[in-house]
């Protein structure tokens, strides 16, 4: 049992440091040696747990990136009422975290989707699956919003979900350059105006 726990602790330590360096420098600009050097671990320790750099990154997706995206962007709106309020609050909280995080290099899922596009189909598929779950979750809450009387029935839920994801990824990218407070404020103001245009209009 103790040996198993030690093995799990080593794996987790490698994954956390690996994600940090991959996120900061990019997957292709970060070597296994870079990660091991930062942790003072041997290559034997790495290859005892992972078959390759690709296998290592896939394990990071499954254990860390999925959890990160789910906890910040999916779970907060899952099964809730009034999609406009909960999506607004979800995005505001996430952008607030990014604004005050000096180690934030953009949106983790967006960064890696871009980096692996047309370069590694296997990893791209894992990342795209996360994106699809997020998209489906947004579509689901918007469709529920129609049934519950919050969203106009003529609204294209799939189109709105695509817009929300792309605009969120965009503002996270812009925030890397600085001026985070103003960017967040302007984005949320425009998002709220957009949501107002999608609300179910009261009939006289």
Domains held by the chain: number: 2
Domain CATH number, residue 34: 1.10.10.60
80 and 33 in a single domain? The answer is: no
65 and 41 in a single domain? The answer is: no
40 and 86 in a single domain? The answer is: no
- Residue 30 domain-assigned? yes
Domain CATH number, residue 137: 1.10.357.10
Cβ of 7: how many Cβ atoms within 10 Å? Answer: 12
Residue 114, phi then psi, degrees to nearest 5: -70, -45
Residue 144 lies in domain: 61-198
pLDDT at 75: 97
- Residue 204 domain-assigned? no
pLDDT at 7: 81
46 and 77 in a single domain? The answer is: no
73 and 133 in a single domain? The answer is: yes
77 and 166 in a single domain? The answer is: yes
45 and 66 in a single domain? The answer is: no
pLDDT in tens, 30-86: 999 999 999 999 999 899 999 999 999 999 999 999 999 999 999 999 999 999 999
* Segments of the chain with pLDDT less than 50: 203-204
4 and 70 in a single domain? The answer is: no
pTM equals: 0.91
């Amino acid at each position: 049992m103790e040996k198993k726990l030690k093995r799990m602790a080593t794996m987790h330590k490698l994954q956390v440091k690996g994600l940090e360096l991959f996120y900061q420098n990019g997957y292709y600009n970060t070597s296994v040696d870079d990660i091991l050097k930062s942790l003072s671990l041997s290559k034997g320790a790495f290859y005892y747990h992972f078959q390759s750099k690709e296998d290592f990154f896939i394990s990071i997706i499954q254990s860390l990136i999925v959890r990160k995206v789910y906890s910040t962007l999916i779970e907060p709106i899952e099964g809730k009422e009034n999609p406009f309020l909960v999506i607004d609050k979800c995005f505001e909280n996430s952008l607030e975290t990014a604004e005050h995080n000096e180690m934030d290099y953009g949106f983790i899922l967006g960064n890696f989707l871009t980096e692996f596009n047309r370069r590694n189909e296997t990893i791209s598929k894992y990342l795209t699956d996360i994106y699809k779950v997020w998209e489906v979750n947004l579509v689901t809450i918007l469709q529920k919003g129609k049934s519950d009387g919050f969203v106009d029935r003529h609204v294209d839920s799939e189109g709105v979900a695509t817009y929300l994801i792309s605009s969120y990824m965009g503002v996270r990218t812009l925030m890397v350059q600085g001026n985070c407070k103003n960017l967040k404020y302007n984005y949320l103001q425009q998002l709220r105006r957009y949501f107002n245009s999608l609300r179910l209009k009261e009939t006289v």
